[in-house]
Amino acid sequence: MQTKDLLQQAQADQDWIVGLRRELHRFPELRYEEFRTSEVVRRTLTELDIPFEHPIATTGVVARLGNGNGPCVALRADMDALPIEEEADVDFCSENPGKMHACGHDCHTAMLLGAAKLLKRHEDQIQGTVKLLFQPAEEGGAGGRRMIKEGALENPQVERIFGLHVWPELTTGHVAGRSGPLLAAVGSFRIRVVGRGGHAAFPHTTHDPVMATAQIVSALQSIVSREIDPFSPAVVSVTALRGGEACNVIPPQVEALGTIRSMTTEGLAQLRAAIERIAHSTATAFRCTATLESVEGEVDLPATVNDATCWETTRELATDMLSAEQVHEAPPVLGGEDFSFYTQAVPGCFMVLGIRNPEIGAIHFLHHPKMKVDEAALPIGTAMHAAFAFRSLQDLALPSNQTVVEATAM
């Protein structure tokens, strides 16, 4: 199947794909609450006569295509929205107050359903199995990890996986990715500093946790500057402080919340260990105690690392489908993605899809209440899903020495 043919067919289906995206956009649902979204997915798969399994990871869906006689590859889309009140000027604005598809997961789901339609149209050419993973709870809920634990990559065993993310900093018609680490390992932290509260006019009778916390926050900034290799990107950011309610009372305890990020999973562990050491020792110096705790509902994400072969396949397919000028080598980004759980388990590739178009106001970044999407990009993502599936099944079916010879000959 030629990649340009897939793109042309996806473009012919654009109204259908956009219609699904807009339906999903109007009714956004938070992590593990994607019941209506899952129903739309299952309804569409049923209309396409594609078998599926449900539920998995509460609201997830796993569909299958192909003859089962050969290797197995997977395509993944996330389904959840964010707790954001939408301010985008669109006719299909969110009808669920305080919830919005501000990260493009409605687009991801619609594009994978578009790929399902393409693949079903050519199912007689699928020598093996293509799994479609419609995943809940990417936004902090580790839905990918639950999908894996509940068997999404098994029976048959997935050998390669592909996913993508809409990207407002990249112009529509362009895609980007890279071999190796693309997105960061991400974690959160809560430091609880406990002292002795009292009257603010008599500070000598207290063990002031506010003072201790202020010193801890300042000291944490030395981790990246003095403990991390300058050529290894990392972030330690304190994002919230909680403690006290009155101007004349020193509270008994203070909490500091924040995020840590590293381009390696090992680096994330190094950051966490440094935070715990600094918080404990600094609090002790101010006659307080400090404990490092997890943030309820948050799960550490490993780094998203693209397999070199899978990225090369993706790059070649995108170049054939678009042009060399429209395919870019992406720099590492300190954002996180729970697609990383899949790439820990099997070789895979995650790429970004340009959706920026200033003429229609598609200029705001992810998680912004005014985020808009240039829907002209959706057929590209749809076709890339299908192209990766066809090409990967073909490559996996070849003897390993033949694949090497063909790759060398290019």
Per-residue pLDDT, 402: 55
379 and 115 in contact (C-beta within 8 Å)?
no
The pTM for the full model equals 0.93
Residues β-bridged to residue 257: 190, 240
What pLDDT sits at residue 405? Answer: 39
CA distance 380 to 8: 9
pLDDT at 398: 86
Angle at 293 between CA 289 and CA 295, to 5 degrees: 140
Stretches where the chain sits below pLDDT 50 are 401, 403-410
pLDDT given at position 296: 83
DSSP string, 194-220: E-B-EETT-GGGSB-HHHHHHHHHHHH
Residue type, 348: G
Sorted by sequence, the CB contacts under 8 Å of residue 14 that are 6+ apart come out as: 375, 376, 378, 379
How do residues 124-162 score in pLDDT, each as one tens digit? 999 999 999 999 999 989 999 999 999 999 999 999 999
Domains detected in the chain: 3-183+303-409 (3.40.630.10), 185-293 (3.30.70.360)
Q: Give the model's pLDDT for residue 400.
A: 60
